[in-house]
């Protein structure tokens, strides 16, 4: 039977639980009605935990990466890209599988939040506990609606719980979404606790940080600056880690730079890989798979075999030459902290003269040339003169999301948490807001906090930016250096009105196809087919 928004029934929503790493615990009220479950504090906790779990459909997932990082100035399609229509805007239509999946999951999550917000008064909570959980649900509703409105524009909007089958849809103005997002986040800021013992729950500074991002997105620069500075100066205990590379160590996932994270269980079975009984939409969510997506094909080279430290190479995404050239690796530690250039021989079968542990592959953004015992993939071997990829199997690879703690070399699941908001983002929000307010000196001041952390020993002065150098493009370049691959780039370019211009300038793989209407994605065709008011709820302009 067709459904317009693929929402789940109340009882199934209650059962859709994922026990988060650290503390968000399961509760399974088997055999109870929705009304009786929602009217007990224990039962209502189940709903809240389930509402959190939907974040895992976007963060750390190929669909989310393809929507939020590809089709930008930073990434080209590797040989394994399964959504080239998203990556290159070539024949991008509502049949795209990534967009269909995310639409379904985001609206299911929103419906669960709506149900909880409207029913929480009957849950039997104390006033303080009610405000805490309602604040969390309102944060999550704002969070999910932001992904919806930025991805698809002014589409279906409701704050009411959907019961049963709905075959009509509305198209609400973008401002309707943002007005609700601001109301929900302000409620969260005023009501959730400053800290939590349950890692992964929303806190007051997390709500403030996301609100700062929302203010920036809507061009409310004074408010964005004020809110970002309130987090920076609020005494919440956050700080930039001394070493950028340390952010990505599996042993350091819970650290003082993480303002908000989507967490994954170290027990992979709790991440809903194949458990359809608590995943009523019938899809496999699973654990974080970001570690697969940026890995180049190293295991087809002499002296190399696949192993756990070097990862399982899905080679979905490769960096643009522009992205690599943004880094001055002599001064900026983020290049080495983000990318891998050298692979050391790990095979018993090696070329003559190559020892175990010798360099087997060298991939570099530089033009090196020459003859070597190791396999060389230099600038001229990987990229054409115009920047197109010659070799989309072998390239400098992003390593932020690698997981050497996996149990086997073919294990596709990782317990790595996804950093949704890092403390560094607050400095860059403040910098962008200050620039838009005409205060380039203050913008440089906030940029230099991030650049000072990024500087290699003895190179701090070389990495400082002067007020006269600060432009919107400079800030976008800085955000690329800091956040490459962190599921922010498409939103950054859309927010600043730079998506089309920068793709045309810096991504020759995508430049021929991108058009202004690509600043929103096509509505999934199966949703359009399921409704009866197709004359009112139509496909986004530019798509068939």
Q: Which fold has domain 201-260+421-486?
A: 1.25.40
Please answer whether residues 56 and 21 qualify as being in contact, where contact means their C-beta atoms are separated by less than 8 angstroms. Answer: no
What mean pLDDT do residues 138-151 have? 98
Q: Any idea what the Cα angle at residue 324 is, between residues 318 and 328, rounded to 5°?
A: 160
Dihedral (C-alpha) 101, 414, 11, 191: value to the nearest 10 degrees?
-100
Q: Which fold has domain 1-198+510-544?
A: 1.25.40
From 22-26, 44-48, 146-150, 399-403, the region with the lowest mean pLDDT: 22-26
Domain chopping of the chain, boundaries: 1-198+510-544, 201-260+421-486, 290-411
What mean pLDDT do residues 304-308 have? 98
Per-residue model confidence as pLDDT tens digits over 475-528: 999 999 999 999 999 999 999 999 999 999 999 999 999 999 999 999 999 999
> Phi first, then psi: what are they for 148, rounded to 5°?
-65, -55
Q: How many CA atoms lie within 13 A of 471 on its CB side?
A: 5
From 25-34, 96-105, 399-408, the region with the lowest mean pLDDT: 25-34
Please answer whether residues 472 and 262 qualify as being in contact, where contact means their C-beta atoms are separated by less than 8 angstroms. Answer: no
Cα(500)–Cα(2) distance, rounded to whole angstroms? 36
Q: Within 10 Å of residue 290's Cβ, how many Cβ atoms?
A: 24
3 state DSSP class of 21: coil
Q: Does the pLDDT at position 9 exceed 60?
A: no
Determine the pLDDT at residue 364: 98
Q: Does the pLDDT at position 16 exceed 60?
A: no
Per-residue model confidence as pLDDT tens digits over 227-248: 999 999 999 999 999 999 999 9
Distances (CA, A) of 488 to 64, 213, 450: 10, 11, 17
Determine the pLDDT at residue 285: 59
Cα(205)–Cα(137) distance, rounded to whole angstroms? 16
Question: 1-198+510-544 and 201-260+421-486: same fold?
Answer: yes
**pLDDT classification of 33: cutoffs 50, 70, 90:** low
Cα(132)–Cα(189) distance, rounded to whole angstroms? 10
**pLDDT classification of 194: cutoffs 50, 70, 90:** very high
Please answer whether residues 430 and 446 qualify as being in contact, where contact means their C-beta atoms are separated by less than 8 angstroms. Answer: yes
Distances (CA, A) of 105 to 56, 122, 154, 400, 505: 10, 26, 18, 26, 34
Lookup: tokens for 288: 């974080």
Determine the pLDDT at residue 273: 53
What mean pLDDT do residues 79-99 have? 98
Determine the pLDDT at residue 272: 61
**pLDDT classification of 8: cutoffs 50, 70, 90:** very low
Q: Does the pLDDT at position 203 exceed 90?
A: yes
Looking at the chain, the whole-number percentage of residues with pLDDT higher than 70 is 91
* Residue 273 vs residue 167, higher pLDDT: 167
- CA 479 to centroid of chain Cα atoms: 14
Pick from 160, 111, 157, 115: nearest CA to 134: 115
The distance between the two most distant Cα atoms of the chain, rounded to a whole number of Å, is 74
Q: Does the pLDDT at position 163 exceed 90?
A: no
Residue 246 DSSP one-character state: G
Mark 375-413 as b/e (b = at least 16 C-beta within 10 Å).
bbbbbebbbeeebbbebbbbbbbbbbbbbeebeeeebbb
Distances (CA, A) of 399 to 324, 350, 485: 13, 25, 10
Lookup: tokens for 86: 């998203």
**Partners of 340 in beta bridges:** 397
Q: Does the pLDDT at position 11 exceed 90?
A: no
């Amino acid at each position: 039977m067709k459904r317009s928004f693929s929402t789940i029934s109340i009882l199934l929503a209650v059962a859709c639980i994922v026990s988060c790493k650290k503390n968000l615990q399961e509760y399974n009220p088997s055999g109870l009605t929705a009304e009786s479950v929602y009217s007990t504090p224990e039962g209502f906790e189940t709903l809240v935990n389930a509402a959190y779990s939907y974040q895992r459909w976007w963060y750390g997932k190929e669909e989310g990466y393809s929507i939020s990082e590809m089709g930008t100035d930073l990434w080209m399609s590797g040989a394994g890209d399964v959504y080239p229509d998203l990556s290159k805007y070539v024949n991008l239509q509502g049949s795209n599988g990534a967009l269909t999946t995310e639409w379904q999951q985001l609206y299911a999550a929103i419906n669960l939040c709506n149900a909880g917000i409207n029913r929480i008064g009957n849950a039997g909570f104390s006033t303080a506990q009610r405000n805490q959980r309602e604040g969390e649900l309102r944060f999550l509703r704002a969070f999910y609606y932001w992904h919806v409105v930025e991805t698809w524009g002014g589409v279906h909007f409701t704050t009411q719980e959907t019961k049963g089958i709905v075959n009509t849809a509305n198209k609400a103005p973008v401002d309707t979404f943002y007005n609700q997002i601001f109301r929900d986040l302000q409620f969260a800021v005023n009501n959730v606790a400053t800290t939590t013992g349950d890692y992964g729950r929303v806190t007051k500074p997390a709500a403030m940080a996301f609100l700062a991002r929302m203010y920036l997105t809507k061009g409310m620069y004074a408010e964005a600056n004020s809110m970002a500075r309130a987090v920076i100066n609020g005494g919440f205990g956050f700080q930039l880690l001394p070493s950028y590379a340390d952010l990505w160590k599996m042993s350091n996932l819970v650290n003082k730079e993480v303002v908000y994270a989507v967490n994954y269980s170290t027990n992979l079975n709790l991440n809903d890989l194949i458990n359809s009984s608590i995943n009523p939409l019938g899809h496999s969510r699973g654990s974080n798979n970001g570690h697969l997506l940026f890995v180049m094909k190293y295991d087809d080279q002499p002296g190399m075999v696949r192993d756990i430290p070097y990862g399982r190479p899905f080679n979905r995404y490769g960096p643009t030459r522009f992205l690599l050239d943004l880094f001055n690796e002599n001064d900026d530690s983020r290049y080495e902290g983000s990318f891998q250039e050298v692979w050391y021989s790990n095979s018993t079968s090696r070329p003559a003269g190559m020892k175990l542990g010798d360099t087997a592959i060298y991939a570099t953004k530089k033009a090196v040339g020459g003859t070597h015992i190791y396999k060389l993939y230099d600038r001229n071997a990987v990229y054409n003169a115009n920047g197109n990829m010659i070799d989309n199997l072998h390239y400098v690879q992003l390593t932020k999301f690698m997981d050497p703690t996996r149990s086997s070399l073919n294990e596709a699941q990782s317990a790595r948490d996804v950093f949704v908001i890092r403390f560094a983002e607050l400095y860059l929000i403040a910098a962008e807001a200050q620039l838009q307010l005409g205060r380039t000196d203050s913008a440089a001041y906030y940029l230099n906090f991030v650049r000072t952390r990024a500087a290699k020993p003895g190179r701090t002065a070389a990495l400082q930016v002067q007020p006269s150098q600060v432009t919107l493009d400079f800030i976008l370049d800085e955000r690329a250096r800091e956040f490459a691959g962190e599921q922010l780039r498409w939103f950054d370019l859309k927010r600043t009105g730079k998506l089309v211009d920068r793709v045309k300038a810096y991504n020759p793989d995508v430049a021929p196809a991108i058009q202004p209407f690509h600043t929103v994605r096509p509505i999934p065709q199966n949703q359009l087919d399921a409704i009866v008011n197709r004359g009112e709820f139509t496909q986004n302009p530019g798509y068939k």
